[in-house]
Amino acid sequence: MRGQKWSPSWIDLETPNAARVYDYYLGGSHNFEADRTMARRAVELWPELPKIMRANRAFLRRSVHYLADQGFTRFLDIGSGIPTVGPVHEIAREVQPEARVVYVDRDPVAVAHSLAMLSHDPLSRVVQADLTDPEELLAQPDVAALLDGGAPVALLLVAVLHFVPDEAGPHGLVARLRDALPPGSALVLCHACREGRPDQVGPHQDIYARTRTPLTMRGREEIAAFFDGFELVDPGLVYLTQWRPDSPDAVGPDPERLAGLVGVGRLGSEQALP
């Protein structure tokens, strides 16, 4: 295990890590037995968890590809975890070969894995910073450099805001990040919601209450408020599989069961995104 290049020698392999558990759900290889054990226990309580995580990653792929098609070459991924199984830089460069990505995470384990994996990528940067301290995050040289120059930046807050408790003022945090973006920038957001599976709100939050990253599922109006100052592009704020699906069949018969709302918004610009 210690010989794996993506795993620094100091990493604790016996304690589950949320980023590696997510990787396991995605079918990735950047996880250890402790992570797999925790994931299997969570799935016993909510069997659809792997499907939800994969739908979340599929939305990330579609939204990043969409923005790259619109000319975006700068991406700021906050709460990025470990960039595996279709990471932002790989998706964006399918369309924009020179796309720059800054991955930001507060978890030192996720950051260490990411640094090891991306050490030879000159267009990707990895930053350890906390969304709940936006001033410190924005002051990071790699973040500041990405935002400098006036080119639109895609701010990715995918499956991270539901780990920010109400007392931390999540809407104010997003507003501060919004105000730092150049004109024409975009917000990509995915958030666990209460409406889709109200019967699972309690159990789902209980699962994460046992970890270092408690979960706060929010209602549609609370989630929509994160887009204040942005203009939502079609189809608006919808369930995970409903956002510009690759085919009608990809939506599935009960999209609300995935219990996540997603959207993409554009910051004031002369021309709205189609």
Residues 6+ apart with CB under 8 A from 229: 175, 178, 267, 268
Tell me the average pLDDT across 235-246: 95
CA 212 to chain centre: 18
- 29 — pLDDT class (breaks 50, 70, 90): low
Block residue for tokens 């780990």: 163
User: Diameter of the chain by CA atoms?
Assistant: 52
Read off the pTM: 0.85
Instruction: Kindly state whether residue 272 falls inside one of the protein's structural domains.
Output: no
Q: How far apart are the first and last CA of the chain?
A: 47
What residues make up the domain containing 236? Answer: 18-267
Segment 200-237, tens digit of pLDDT:
656 655 666 555 667 788 999 999 999 999 999 999 99
Instruction: Kindly state whether residue 2 falls inside one of the protein's structural domains.
Output: no
Instruction: Kindly state whether residue 1 falls inside one of the protein's structural domains.
Output: no
Instruction: Kindly state whether residue 273 falls inside one of the protein's structural domains.
Output: no
Count of structural domains within the chain: 1
Instruction: Tell how strand 238-239 and strand 260-267 pair up.
Output: antiparallel
| pLDDT for res 270 | 47
146 by Cβ neighbours in 10 Å (0-12 / 13-18 / 19+) ranks as: buried
Instruction: Kindly state whether residue 51 falls inside one of the protein's structural domains.
Output: yes
Instruction: Kindly state whether residue 10 falls inside one of the protein's structural domains.
Output: no
Cis status, amide bond into 235, omega within 30 of 0: yes
Instruction: Kindly state whether residue 86 falls inside one of the protein's structural domains.
Output: yes
- The tokens describing 44, both together, are 């016993």
Segment 46-75, tens digit of pLDDT:
677 778 888 888 999 999 999 999 999 999
Residue 130, domain CATH:
3.40.50.150
